[in-house]
Each structure stands twice: as structure tokens, then as C-alpha cells.
Amino acid sequence: MLRNYKIKMKRTFLIASVATLLAAYQGSAFADTSEKPQTALSENIAVNLINRLVERGALTAQDGAELLKLAAADTAKAHSLAAAEPVEEDTVRVTYVPQSVKDQIRQEVKLDVMAEARRDNWATPNTFPSWVSRFALFGDFRMRYEGIFLPTGNNNTGAFPNFNAINTGAPFDVAGTQFSPQYNVDQNRTRYRIRARFGADIALTNGFSTGFRIGSGQDSQPGTENQTLGGANQAQGGGFSKYAVWIDRAFLKYQLNAGTENSVSATIGRFENPFTNTVMLWANDLGFDGAVATANHVLFKGLSAYTTAGVFPIFATDFNFPSNQPAKYKSSDKWLYAAQAGVTFDKLPDVILKGSAAIYYFDQVQGKLSVPYTPITSSDMGNTDNTRPMFAQEGNTYMELRNIIPSVLNNYGAINQYQYFGLASAFDDVVIDGEVDFTHFLPNTVSLNGEYVNNIAFHKGHVGSKAVNNYDNSTTTSPGKFGGGNQAWLVGIKWGDITIKNPGDWNVGLNYRYVESDSLIDGFCDTDFGGTMPGTNHKGYTLQGNYGLSQGVWLNLRWMSADQVSGPTFKCDNVQMDINAKF
């Protein structure tokens, strides 16, 4: 009913518009209202207009009569068509519309149009569809100068094999006359590095969210996203070549009672490190693959607790391993199972206490000796080759993986001793973290923190019997006593602003660490301490400071000094100067 009524009103407004135009024409320069007409006046404006044109000579009397006749015929035809137009049952013909009804129709049309505009966000300037508001974009950039200084006295006789280079390439012939790939221990180096990252957190509905992040990096190693500028002999870089971008975060998350005292969350995919720790245990840029859940709970006023547990795949056996043999070997998949519980107590005046305990069980990461066989070429795989780590830094104790049978084919062990190397120890880390924050001088705080790690799966005698490195000797030809260990600890202090956000914000910090060879898996820990040989089997200090230049822009300066804990002599100092930007 209302729809038909609106249609009829549109027709009425159209007729009114035509009448207005005719009236404007009547009042134009073509009409001289002061001149008295010679013919009889009519109530029809069209008849009067034609008569005026005849009087002025614009039309002949015959033309005027014909036009009036044609106009009368058109009018009659229009009336007949209008009478023949079908009329719906609920249609009402309106010859007069009160002003109040016009206003009501106008208001209804306006409300309909505005509702559509709000729904599609096209009427308001500088607005976007509603889904855009669910995206929270973020990113950061860092430019770094790094100087690595190696003092005289380091052992450069071939005492530091680069097991990562061997395990990620062709196996090394230990019976050959050449040195294995070696770390740099005697020549200073400088380099400039960038790190760039960009991502988004996306709020969905019913407690779900998702997110992603892409980042730089000269290769896919897990611990760092640094890209060395002009890096010769790297996977990329040099000669102004372009750099690769990696997907380093991609996850789906569910939160229950988010933002409350008692909340639960679960995340799957690739995500940030979900555990509380120092840089000694896990590298800052390290991401975790797998699934994790966290529960937060307030025990009573001033004391809150959390529990985090997860399962994380480290390595999945290739479907076709070994690719050059028709009979395949069993899987050697590697997993990390981890759980952590922590508390925060802030009831004391000007003091906040934090503590946590964690267990990290690394399944199947230890190397295994293969079944006896005789490799004829370097490509003849052993059934335990996949137990070697796919990425390593330096410090862990290694063992040979291939049980090579001496025979006439290898001159009874004198040639063709192609080897890969695996971790000599199992890893089952128990970790305790603690922190005390003194807040009396807010916004500045003084924080004391510490971390202790014990690899309870380590057995020194068993590991030492298989070890090919970490002996207390000055040469590689006469191994001495095995010097590896299973404990690590760090203590530190920081003074200043907790975070650097605005111009003038600052903090300084100092820590000391002692990391034995097989306390941690060296491929996942700090990628900077130790300079040319980061990882484990180091002791030393780090001094650093941060200063805010602008909102989201700050400087960082670090000095790190590292000594070898056991084995041949190695010392290294390195300085890093960073400028950071974050949004």
C-alpha cells in the first residue's frame, strides 16, 4: 500500500515540476504581460501561449489552429491511456497530498537511505568497511652495526669444526687430509645488518583471532631474522641483490574470558615464544611451531598464577627418506613437549615478585649410531642420518652417526669415511626463572632476574665416550679429558624504564652467564653472545643500554664478552649498535 502511494507521489511531484517550468517560461522575456491579448482568454495555459504566438506573427492562424487541434487530440489520448491503466487492489489515487504527509514520506526515505549508508560505510568521509577495524597492523625495523673482535691466543689449529656446515651439506670424509669446515677464531670482522618485520592480528568472533607476520632473514635458521648487507658467501646478499622474505608467524587463537582474572587461551600454528625465559635459553626471534594452551588464574588478591603447556614438532622425516634407495628407513621425527607454571605476587609495597618453573622434554633429538654398512660414495645414506640436527650453532657435544665397516672397498678404514654428526646427549631441561622488581622510583624501576637450567638427561660418562669435540686439549690430534657439562645460569640487573616508548625513555642493564656445553640445545639459544661462535659452552657478561629518540624509535648499545667454558681456548668480544623503529 505504502509503496504504491510513494509511486503516485512521485508522479504528482513530476507534474508539479513541469508546471513550475511552464510558469517560469510564462514569466520570461518571451511573455509580455502588459500587452492586452486580442483573442479571448482561456483557462488553459497552452491555448493562451499558442494564441500569443499567432498574435506576434510567430505562427500563422492556420498553424495555431492545427497545433490546438493536435494538442487536444494528445490530451484526449492521454486521458484514455490513464483510464486504461490497471489499478492494483491496494492502490489509492491521490489528487492532493497534505504537507504533513509529504514531510512523513520525505523522512521515511531519508531514514532508508541513511541506514543503507551506515551499513555500507559510503556516506561518511574517510571511513572503511567494518571488517577493516578488526585488523591490528604492526611492524618494526632495525639497523645494526656489529663489530666482532677476536684476541690473539685463540686456538686456530682446527679445533673448532663447523658441524652445522657439515650436516647441512655433503658428509665429511674424516679420513681425508683436509680440514673440516671451521669457525673463524682469529680475524676481526665487522658487518651491517637489518631486520624488518610486518604483521597483523585479526579479531574474529566468539573469542577467535588469527594473525601472521613476515620477516627478513638471510636464511631460514630459527634464531634470528637478521640480514647481513652485502653478505658475501651467504645464502643471499651481496652485489645489491634483493633479499628474501619469510613467513615467521601464522596462527589461529582462541580465548575464553579474555581480559579477566581467570582466562584460558589456545593457539595453533607458528607463534611467539609462549614461555617466560631469558635470552640465554631461547633466542629473542625464535618462533614455536605446534599447539600451546595457557590458563591464568588469580589465587587471591595480590597473587596470580599461570600454566602453559604445549607440544611442538621439531623435525618431520621426509616421506621418501632415503631418496636414492627403494627400501625406506623408519621415521626419526623429533618433538618438544613443554610445560611451565608461574606466579606473580604484587602485594608488598614497592616490590613485585615473579617466579616460574618449566620442564622441556626433547624427544628423539639425540644422535643414533647407524646399522653397520660401507658407504662407497658420499651420497650413500645411513639409516640414522636424519637424527643429525638440521640447524646448529656451536657448543654442543657431537658423535659420529655412521657405523662404517672397514673393508677392501674403503682400504680398511683408510679412505671413504663419510660422516654426519649428531648430538651426543639427550636433552631434558628443568628451568627455574625468577625476577624481583623494585618500583619505589616509578616510572624508573630496578629489576633483578635470574635463570637456572639443568639438563637432567645428560650423563657425562656416556656422552664423553662418544664425543668428537669438547675435550680439554690444545690440539685435535691428542684428545684429553672430556670437559662437557649440563648446567647453565644467568643473573642480571636492569635500571630505568621498563619499556622504551617515548623520547627520553632509558634503561641500562648488566648480566653474567655461565653456559656449559650440553645444558641447552645450541641451535635455539642466543644468536649473538659468542660472536663468531654463538651457542653454548660460553661464560661472560653483557652490558647494554637503551635510549628513546622519538615515539617508537630508540637506540640500543651492547657490549658482550665471552670465554670458552671447556675445550680449546676461545675468547670473543663483540659490540652492537642498533637503531630501532616500531609501530
Name the least confident of 77-81, 146-150, 181-185, 370-374.
77-81
**DSSP secondary-structure letter at 333?**
-
- The 10s digit of each residue's pLDDT in 200-221 is 999 999 999 999 999 999 888 8
Q: Which three cell numbers stand for residue 495?
A: 635500571
Answer yes or no: do 83 and 137 share one domain.
Answer: no
Answer yes or no: do 455 and 356 share one domain.
Answer: yes
Answer yes or no: do 66 and 145 share one domain.
Answer: no
Cα–Cα separations (whole angstroms), residue 138 to 215, 298, 582: 12, 30, 8
Q: At 19, is the pLDDT very low, low, confident or very high (cuts 50, 70, 90)?
A: very low
Do the bridges between strand 421-423 and strand 398-400 make them parallel or antiparallel, or are there none, so unpaired? antiparallel
Answer yes or no: do 210 and 84 share one domain.
Answer: no
Q: Domain ends where: 59, 89, 119?
A: 89
What would the mean pLDDT of 434-451 be, rounded to a whole number? 94
Is 110 a member of any domain?
A: no
> Which CATH number is 558's domain given?
2.40.160.180
> What per-residue string of b and e applies to 491-503 under the rule 16 or more CB within 10 Å gives b?
bbebbbbeebeee
Q: By the 8 A CB rule, do 496 and 508 touch?
A: yes
Phi–psi pair at 431, nearest 5 degrees: -130, 135
Is 481 a member of any domain?
A: yes
Answer yes or no: do 261 and 345 share one domain.
Answer: yes
- The 10s digit of each residue's pLDDT in 380-428 is 999 999 999 999 999 999 999 999 999 999 998 899 999 999 999 999 9
Nearest to 309 by CA among 339, 287, 336, 289: 339
Answer yes or no: do 137 and 217 share one domain.
Answer: yes
As a whole number of angstroms, the distance between CA 389 and CA 271 comes to 22
Nearest to 422 by CA among 373, 395, 386: 386
The residues with which 147 forms a beta bridge, in sequence order, are 190, 575
Burial class (CB in 10 A: 0-12, 13-18, 19+), 419: buried
Answer yes or no: do 138 and 67 share one domain.
Answer: no
Is 123 a member of any domain?
A: no
Domain residues for 63?
2-89
Answer yes or no: do 176 and 257 share one domain.
Answer: yes
Number of H helices, E strands in the chain: 6, 23
Is 94 a member of any domain?
A: no
As a whole number of angstroms, the distance between CA 289 and CA 272 comes to 9
Phi–psi pair at 100, nearest 5 degrees: -65, -35
- The 10s digit of each residue's pLDDT in 368-382 is 999 999 998 888 999
Q: Domain ends where: 89, 123, 151?
A: 89
Answer yes or no: do 78 and 138 share one domain.
Answer: no
Q: For the chain, how many structural domains are there in total?
A: 2
Q: At 130, is the pLDDT very low, low, confident or very high (cuts 50, 70, 90)?
A: confident
* Cβ-based neighbours of 32, under 8 Å, separated by 6 or more: none
| Chain CA centroid to CA 482, Å | 42
Is 96 a member of any domain?
A: no
Is 120 a member of any domain?
A: no
As a whole number of angstroms, the distance between CA 577 and CA 560 comes to 12
Answer yes or no: do 196 and 251 share one domain.
Answer: yes
Answer yes or no: do 79 and 181 share one domain.
Answer: no
Answer yes or no: do 39 and 178 share one domain.
Answer: no
- The 10s digit of each residue's pLDDT in 74-83 is 777 766 665 5
Kindly tell me if the per-residue pLDDT of 10 is higher than 80. Answer: no
Burial class (CB in 10 A: 0-12, 13-18, 19+), 523: buried
Dihedral sign for Cα 474, 477, 479, 483, please: positive
Kindly tell me if the per-residue pLDDT of 478 is higher than 80. Answer: no
Q: By the 8 A CB rule, do 546 and 500 touch?
A: yes
Is 121 a member of any domain?
A: no
* Cβ-based neighbours of 300, under 8 Å, separated by 6 or more: none
Q: Which helix (H) or strand (E) covers residue 65, if one does?
A: helix 61-84
Q: Domain ends where: 73, 89, 105?
A: 89
Is 576 a member of any domain?
A: yes
Average pLDDT, the chain: 86
